[in-house]
């Protein structure tokens, strides 16, 4: 690679960086050993101090901050101008964006301005023979494509949960960007932001996930899963078999054709552990499997396994957690 360094363009909400951004910074630290240069981040917001500090704790050496009322909420034009200003200042070999709707919007706009392509929805990355090679599941996860960038800077969007995130401590140098917003960037204005209060914890941001599979037997039986999740403050996930059966909506699906997650604790209930599901949760810090089949593949990579009926084990686990919470 002619250039060096990696820039991670932050995806933020509720005053903190999204997990996918922290995962990208952590991965960038490993890639920088081969690419050379520093790991930098770009953040946008009305007040970026907390975002910059968080990026520093995960390993960013320098943070480019676009701050002010124009960046209080996501606006494609303004955010693209800010991202381009950060790219110009950092002059990186690689720029990583989140695989969210906003991240994809930004990545494509920046790539168009730079005249390069985009490596989309990557779940793996390494340097081979001096070039960045990425992995991308496509055709419903039936094919895993390996792609190589042919132009610099390399622009890529990262699927949430694909990499482990690691806080290493430290402070980043903060560089305030003087972003000159173009008239075209100010045409669209955000008048209001309305969020549906559905009471559902995001799978991508959850630190604990309780998932159900074919062994649940029906959608109604997911009430057992929900009760445990409520006690743990966890999100509810599902395998593809459960989603295909109509028991849970696709937004709950974990796996190669669903969402990739990386919580601190993943509890799999009635899930066999096929490779397609494993691909979506294998980076979880701890995996607990509950299945009545002692030969289920999930036991081969789970940290803790319970062979038993989920309709006996899960309610007992829920009740025990409830008792301990009451006693504390």
pLDDT exceeds 60 at position 197: no
Average per-residue pLDDT in the chain?
Answer: 91
Of the candidates 167, 153, 172, the one whose C-alpha atom is nearest the C-alpha of residue 65 is 172
| Averaged pLDDT for residues 86-115 | 95
**Per-residue confidence band for 317, with pLDDT thresholds at 50, 70 and 90:** very high
| Averaged pLDDT for residues 241-264 | 89
What is the token pair recorded at 266? 């993943």
**Per-residue confidence band for 114, with pLDDT thresholds at 50, 70 and 90:** very high
Domain covering 208-327 in this structure, CATH number: 3.40.50.1220
Alpha-carbon distance of 313 to 308, in angstroms, equals 7
Q: Which long-range contacts does 286-294 make (Cβ < 8 Å, 24+ apart)?
A: 290/314, 291/215, 292/215
Distant-in-sequence, close-in-space partners of 282: CB < 8 Å, separation ≥ 6: 301
Task: Kindly state the percentage of the chain with pLDDT values over 90.
Answer: 67
Cβ(80)–Cβ(110) below 8 Å: yes
pLDDT exceeds 60 at position 302: yes
pLDDT exceeds 60 at position 303: yes
pLDDT exceeds 80 at position 102: yes
**Per-residue confidence band for 313, with pLDDT thresholds at 50, 70 and 90:** very high
Q: What is the pLDDT of residue 270?
A: 95
Q: CA 101, 103, 107 angle in degrees (round to 5)?
A: 120
pLDDT exceeds 90 at position 225: yes
Cβ(44)–Cβ(181) below 8 Å: no
- As a three-state string, the secondary structure of the chain is CCCCCEEEECCEECCEECHHHHHHHHHHHHHHHHHCCCEEEEEEECCCHHHHHHHHHCCCCEEEEEECHHHCCCCHHHHHHHHHHHHHHHCCCEEEEECCHHHHHHHHHHHHHHCCCEEEEECEEEEECCEEEEEEEECCCCEEEEEECCCCCEEEEECCCCCCCCCCCCCCEEEECCCCCCHHHHCCCCCCCCCCCCCCCCCCCCCEEEEECHHHCCCCCHHHHHHHHHHHCCEEEECHHHHHCCCCCHHHEECCCCECCCCCEEEEECCCCCHHHHHHHCCCCEEEEEECCCCCHHHHCCCEEEECCHHHHHHHHHHHHHHHHHHC
Q: What is the pLDDT of residue 240?
A: 93
| Averaged pLDDT for residues 289-300 | 95
Q: What is the pLDDT of residue 254?
A: 92
Domain covering 6-186 in this structure, CATH number: 3.40.50.620
Q: What is the largest CA-CA distance in the chain?
A: 64
pLDDT exceeds 70 at position 141: no
Task: Kindly state the percentage of the chain with pLDDT values over 70.
Answer: 97
Most confident of 125-129, 266-270, 278-282: 266-270
pTM of the model: 0.76
Per-residue model confidence as pLDDT tens digits over 30-73 = 999 999 999 999 999 999 999 999 999 999 999 999 999 999 99
What is the token pair recorded at 172? 């980043």
Q: What is the pLDDT of residue 271?
A: 96
The two domains 6-186 and 208-327 share their CATH topology (first three levels equal): yes
Q: What is the pLDDT of residue 188?
A: 83
Domain boundaries, the chain: 6-186, 208-327
| Averaged pLDDT for residues 114-127 | 93
């Amino acid at each position: 690679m002619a250039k060096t360094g990696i820039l991670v363009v932050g995806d933020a909400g509720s005053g903190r960086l999204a997990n996918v951004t922290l995962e990208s910074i952590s991965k960038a630290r490993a890639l920088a050993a081969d690419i050379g240069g520093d790991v930098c981040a770009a953040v946008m917001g009305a007040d970026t101090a907390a975002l910059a500090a968080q990026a520093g704790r995960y390993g960013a050496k320098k943070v480019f901050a676009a701050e002010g009322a124009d960046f209080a909420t996501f606006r494609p034009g303004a955010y693209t101008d800010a991202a381009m200003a950060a790219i110009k200042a950092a002059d990186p070999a690689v720029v990583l964006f989140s695989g969210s709707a906003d991240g994809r919007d930004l990545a494509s706009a920046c790539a168009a301005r730079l005249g390069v392509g985009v490596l989309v929805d990557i779940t793996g990355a390494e340097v081979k023979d001096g070039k960045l090679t990425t992995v991308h599941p496509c055709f419903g996860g039936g094919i895993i494509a390996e792609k190589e960038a042919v132009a610099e800077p390399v622009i890529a969007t990262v699927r949430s949960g694909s990499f482990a995130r690691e806080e290493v401590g430290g402070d980043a140098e903060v560089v305030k960007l003087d972003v000159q917003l173009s008239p075209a960037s100010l045409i669209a204005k955000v008048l209001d932001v309305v969020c549906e209060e559905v009471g559902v914890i995001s799978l991508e941001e959850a630190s604990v996930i309780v998932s159900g599979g074919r062994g649940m037997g029906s959608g109604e039986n997911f009430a057992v899963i929900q009760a445990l999740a409520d006690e743990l403050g966890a999100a509810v996930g599902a395998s593809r078999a459960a989603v295909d059966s109509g028991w849970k909506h696709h937004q709950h699906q974990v796996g190669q054709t669903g969402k990739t997650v990386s919580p601190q604790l993943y509890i799999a209930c009635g899930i066999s552990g096929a490779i397609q599901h494993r691909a979506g949760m294998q980076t979880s810090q701890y995996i607990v499997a509950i299945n009545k089949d002692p030969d289920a593949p999930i036991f081969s990579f789970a940290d803790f396994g319970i062979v038993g009926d989920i309709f006996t084990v899960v309610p007992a686990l829920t009740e025990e957690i409830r008792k301990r919470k009451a006693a504390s």
